[in-house]
Amino acid sequence: MAIDFSYSPEVLDLVARTEAFIADEVLPVETEYEGDLEAAGGDDLRRELNAKAKTAGLFAPHAPVEYGGLGLNMADRSPVFTAAGHSTFGPVALHIGAPDEGNIHMLAHIASEAQRDKYLGPLATGEVRSAFAMTEPGPHGAGSDPNCLSTTAVRADGGWKINGRKRFITGADGAGFYIIMARTSGSVGDRGGATMFLAPAGTPGLSIDRHVHTTDKSMIGGHCEMTFADLFVPDEDVLGEVDEGYRYAQVRLGPARMTHVMRWLGSARRAHAIAVDYVKDRDGFGGKLSDLGMIQQMIADNEIDLAAVDALLARACYELDLGEHASDSTSIAKTFAAEAFFRVIDRSIQMCGGLGISTDLPLARLADEVRGFRIYDGPSEVHRWAIAKRAVGRARKAAQRKGDHA
């Protein structure tokens, strides 16, 4: 029986309408402001584009239908998110950008009914934004190794008091609420012992200290450093069970990694299309640049990288839609895609020569945007370590089973 890679007419129509919306309403704004979302208007622009997306029937394709979303599964999100990712402002326009998209997914699976009303509803409809406060400054805080979590939450009358610092918290400036990961048991370096807490903006003891300036400019609310000083969170705002924060975070991480792949796949395809369009018309060395073997190799390598990302993404989404953990497939797809996108855009810059590094084309800033993906949602090296560790574990179990039956 053949594997079905087709999409329903409804999804294909949604993709086509998303492509038209991005081309007509979003890409001109991105181009005018050279990809700088804050310079283009920040939250004011977000609200304006969100309203247009709602009118066009494109808003929040991933969000639950009960909150006005389209309720797409992971496989059906893929071509829609990729179409939106053609513009770096596209994810903000459709309300599918990080961290809100991942937080909507997690809250829909974990939040209590009261928390859904208080937090998920306003987030899913775009009334507010959110942030996920996990990463901490060094030398001892949680980063690539979540077991280094040093922010603490201790019992208080009717709830918890949180103390600690966070860094690189995407979307923190202007967020309506924060999902905070804090240690409720054990010590720094211990496995487990983390709990997630919900805290509205403006809660006493919560402060945004500064923006950490990075090469990417398209994520609203920046990447910020935060401090929690005796921040009180009532028991009803504990998200999930105490000490089970890392387990619940897995609900978010796998899908969020894949939606990152979807969005930046749109940017990589855009870069490749720009380069191919350039070399097919550019004269040089007695013909068109596209007739040269070295250029053809770069075009072919881009096509191979993009096709491989498509295949790995499809496999990971298939497993996630089945309700599987998909640890290997999401790590493999994320690692390969993060590196492939940079290769694709770098080759595209090279094919366009001087124009490639100029502001006449968006290629150089697209390279700045995708470079962070080799770090966001787990560095490539950590994913490789995890992939190898699981492979060795499977081999050891197979050898043990073989020994048991000898």
| pLDDT value for 19 | 98
At 1 the pLDDT is 65
Q: Identify the pLDDT of residue 404.
A: 79
pLDDT, averaged across the chain = 96
pLDDT tens digits, 208-260: 999 999 999 999 999 999 999 999 999 999 999 999 999 988 888 899 999 99
The pLDDT of residue 372: 95
246-401 fold: Butyryl-CoA Dehydrogenase, subunit A; domain 3 (1.20.140)
> Please, how many CA atoms are within 13 Å of residue 260, restricted to the half-sphere of its CB?
30
The class that CATH gives domain 130-243 is mainly beta
User: 């749109």: which residue's tokens?
Assistant: 266
- Which fold would CATH assign to domain 9-97? Butyryl-Coa Dehydrogenase, subunit A; domain 1 (1.10.540)
Question: Domain residues of the chain, as ranges?
Answer: 9-97, 130-243, 246-401
- Rounded distance, CA 242 to CA 183, Å? 10
pLDDT of residue 16: 98
**132: pLDDT confidence band, cut at 50, 70 and 90?**
very high
Q: 48-97 pLDDT, tens per residue?
A: 999 999 999 999 999 999 999 999 999 999 999 999 999 999 999 999 99
158 contacts: CB under 8 Å, gap ≥ 6: 234, 235
**Predicted pLDDT at 406:** 63
Average pLDDT over residues 123-131: 98
pLDDT of 123 over the 90 cut: yes
Burial of 292 (0-12, 13-18, 19+ CB in 10 A): middle
Distance of CA 119 to the CA centre of its chain: 20
How high is the pLDDT of residue 4?
A: 85
Give residue 229's pLDDT. 98
* 130-243 and 246-401 share one fold: no
Contact indicator for 265, 223 with CB cutoff of 8 Å:
no
The predicted structure's pLDDT at residue 2: 73
More confident residue, 295 or 402: 295
Maximum CA pair distance of the chain? 80
Check residue 140 and give its pLDDT: 87
User: Alpha-carbon distance 197 to 400, whole Å?
Assistant: 41
Q: Identify the band that residue 122 occupies on the pLDDT scale cut at 50, 70 and 90.
A: very high
Tens of pLDDT, residue by residue over 301-338, are 999 999 999 999 999 999 999 999 999 999 999 999 99
pLDDT of 32: 98
Q: Using 50, 70 and 90 to split pLDDT, how confident is the model at 403?
A: confident
Q: How far apart are CA 291 and CA 308, in angstroms?
A: 25
Handedness of CA 345, 346, 351, 353 (dihedral sign): positive
Tokens of 306: 């993009």
- Can you give the pLDDT at residue 5? 87
Q: What is the pLDDT of residues 98-108, one digit of tens each?
A: 999 999 999 99
